[in-house]
Structure 1
Amino acid sequence: MSIEVRNASVLIDGRAILDDVSLTVVPGELLVVVGPNGAGKSTLLGVISGDLVPTSGTVLLEGESIRSRKPLALARKRSVQLQEQQLAFGFRVIEVVRMGRTPWAGTAAEDRDDEAVAEAIGRVDIAPFVDRSFPTLSGGEKARTGFARATAQEAGVLLLDEPTAALDIKYQQRVLGEAVRLARAGHAVVAVLHDLTLAATHADRICVVSRGRIVAHGTPGEVLTPERLTEVYDHPVDVVVHHGVPVVIPRPGDLPDGAHAFEDKEVRV
């Protein structure tokens, strides 16, 4: 299952949040979208998901306009984890994860509900708190629950908006490792990330968005160059290669008197 964005633009109050963006999401790979704050990353994910209608351009799901799909049919094709999941009531964690199975109610796939929910819970180790109320969770626990809900949906396309933002190192690796595993199993997976080294470690392709446009698209080694990142983020960075993976290191900015900065030493990796 593939999604193709063709020449999509999103205008809000006359300002281009996305500007003539084209992108193809294909099965079998993890595509990571990166870029500075306000670059249009979440807007692009909203367009890919069909939740946001572009001002101009088209989005095709399996060769047909994504707007032609009814909401329930679309939910069987793609799942979305938002940065923040707002719930009006104090649902238990297990109930939140089961929400991912809603699109399959009344179909033959409903027979997999219990198994799919159990697998999703195991993916991110949330079994110890499945009976807790969702609003009582920490930010990281909510993020893991949101990931479990999205993966329990078992859609062919998985869209993740900052899935690791609230997570510690262990669960950053766990979540992105599961995203890679799902991609290898034939899903098309897109993740918006801020951490460039995390992106480089896990992505098959990286898409760099800046000021509403795609400025680079390719493998981590092709895309994450110090020159490009320094320009896009308006801050000097170095890139070193560690075990074949680009590691992005921001240079210290201006520091107050008496603050410590890294000494300029040769780094061996």
Structure 2
Amino acid sequence: MLKTETPSQEHAGLDQYPVAVLVETLIADQLNAVAAVRAAAGVIAAVVEAAVPRIAAGGRLIYVGAGTSGRLGVLDCVELHPTFSWPHERALSLLAGGKGAMFQAVEGAEDDSKQGFLDLAALLPRANDVVMLLAASGSTPYVLGALDAARTAGALTVGIANNVDAPVATRAEFGITLDTGQEVISGSTRLKAGTSQKIVLNTISSAIMVRLHKVHGNLMVDMKATNAKLLRRAVALTMHATGADAASAHFVLEQCDYHVKAAIVVLLRQVPVARARALLDQTEGSVRAALLLQ
């Protein structure tokens, strides 16, 4: 039996715990997710190093999974655009059972390896694409089928599993094993196994975006204000990065179509918007380099 499926003996009387103890037990077990990710930090760093040049060369981030793992992939995928202005067409996700499986389980979809292969192949994967394949068990047929298609196309494959020596990890170019062990509620990998996967996806995608100059210092500067909340955030980020007052930050952002990067360069270099944009283009979007470029 897989470790993630093996009943835990530590909390065999879970259903009899007082509510306060029950809540504390469920929270405390999540700390094991953090420990599992930390143990895999070396290979996670290697994934980022391998992925960055591919993505910089025009590659796409592609997420594949079923059930909880698949939904976590969708979540990371869709948040890249509002957070980093990452193009929608360069962040794609495949969920066993299709889009409807995001909200309701599609029975048997995860067992179809052929469909996994076909779904990934339909995206026309290329060598610069980075395909992240998630499966708590590490042996989900749909995910393994997609893995085969990605490898056939020469894409970079990253297998993420919660069991040691899982096929999705051993057959991918990079295997990330998150050994979270037995779940408090036996077999429910939406708990710490899912938490560990979420941490890994956050870490990989965020690190890639940092390396692609989507972050200045530790500020999220490559977002665009498309609603009132994001407008307030853009003004605050611009003020923090430049020392400008709110009125000045808002005025310059308006001239820059609310692009924080450009506003920072305009304010700190005291140049027109067109020049700020040209400087960013010359430095591949690096605010730090644009501020130094003569």
- TM tier, smaller: under 0.3
Name the one with the larger strand percent.
1
- TM-score of the pair, normalised by structure 2: 0.23
Q: Return the index of the structure with the highest Cα Rg.
A: 2
Name the one with the larger helix percent.
2
- TM-score of the pair, normalised by structure 1: 0.25
